[in-house]
Amino acid sequence: MPLQILNNHSLKHHNSFGFNYYAEYFCLVNDAMELAELIMFVEDKQCSLTVIGSGSNVVLEGDVQGVVAINRIKGMSTSYIEGSTDCILELASGEIWHEAVEYSVRQGLYGIENLALIPGTAGAAPIQNIGAYGVEIKDILQEVEVYNRLTGALEWIGVADCHFSYRESRFKHEWKGSHIVTKIRLKLSTLANTQLDYFAKGTFNTFNPSALEIFNKVSAIRQKKLPDPKKLGNAGSFFKNPIVSDAKYLSLKHLYPDLVSYQQGDGWKLAAGWLIDRAGWKGRRAGGVGVYEAQALVLVNYDNETSDNLLKLQAAIVDDVKSKFGVQLEREPTALG
């Protein structure tokens, strides 16, 4: 059956904020054959191509020209390395990330348990360099398979060539539009190598919690802090945690002894949620959007069909935090439309 491409299709159910903008062309891609058909269509029309997974890390700002393709390519497998405690977990890019994490911990594998309940697909993980509780995808990523539109071939790219940094990669910049992620390979382990530094004391009942115990605890914490996008539109963490110099950190720490921060290289990563909360935005609501009552880092959409009011709220928060603390916030979800 040929790939079905629709015209002027609503994206309301394909972005987690639920904004009702339209794609000029729209399709679901279920396998490599359909991806090849899609590329042919795009080249024939000479139009732009935007591939998204669950739409959980985008903010639609208007109708989208060209093709919006939803990645539904599935596949998951493990390969244990003989004579080693390492295991390679290979994921097709359309796999739901949280389901892959749960699969890994139920296999007794360590490495991505801290990344439980992060919304989105496996293909989006390296693009955003997702992270939580002291772990980033770059820490366990081995390589990424992409369809390179410049060469017309599938290629494997090593982690070093992706130029990862905090919530950044080449996929968000010079490779945007040209490199379509099709698979990722993660190096996990059957031996415990847990990262517990970002958890409060007493979080776990033992000094050496299993991957499954960490997965369950992270899931429980995130469920308390983050609203279900199926019930209340949101994109999870809306702002990046800003990184400031040692001098800036010391000046803020002097003024605010309860400042939440973590050392990052020769600087300090500040908790954006703490800054927003301390500025008085937590729980505030206006124009059908607001700041979530349980987590100031999350902006929510109650009933808006467009993103206009959300963008106004974003700008107001950024300006206020800059004015009060001298710290510039950056948005985490990417703009589309």
Distance CA 330, CA 309 (A): 18
Name the nearest CA neighbour of 54 among 99, 96, 19. 96
H-assigned helices in the chain: 32-45, 97-106, 124-128, 211-225, 246-255, 272-278, 308-325
Question: Of 237, 261, 278, 307, which is the active-site residue?
Answer: 237
Compute CA 313 distance to the chain's CA centroid, rounded to the nearest angstrom: 21
Q: Are 314 and 331 in contact (CB under 8 A)?
A: yes
Q: Are 101 and 115 in contact (CB under 8 A)?
A: yes
Q: Residue 156: enclosing H or E segment and its boundaries?
A: strand 153-158
Neighbours of 332 (CB within 10 A): 18
Q: Are 35 and 182 in contact (CB under 8 A)?
A: yes
Name the nearest CA neighbour of 142 among 193, 79, 203. 79
* Partners of 336 in beta bridges: 60
170 carries an active-site annotation: no
Tell me the chain's radius of gyration from C-alpha atoms.
Answer: 20
Q: Are 21 and 62 in contact (CB under 8 A)?
A: yes
Question: Of 90, 113, 136, 332, which is the active-site residue?
Answer: 332
Strand segments, DSSP code E, in 30-93 are: 49-52, 58-60, 64-71, 76-80, 86-92
332 carries an active-site annotation: yes
Pairing of strands 135-136, 153-158: unpaired
99 carries an active-site annotation: no
CA dihedral for 72, 118, 238, 287, sign (positive or negative): positive
Q: Is 64 helix (H, G, I), strand (E, B) or coil?
A: strand
Question: Of 54, 167, 169, 222, which is the active-site residue?
Answer: 167
Point out the residues that are catalytic.
Answer: 167, 237, 332
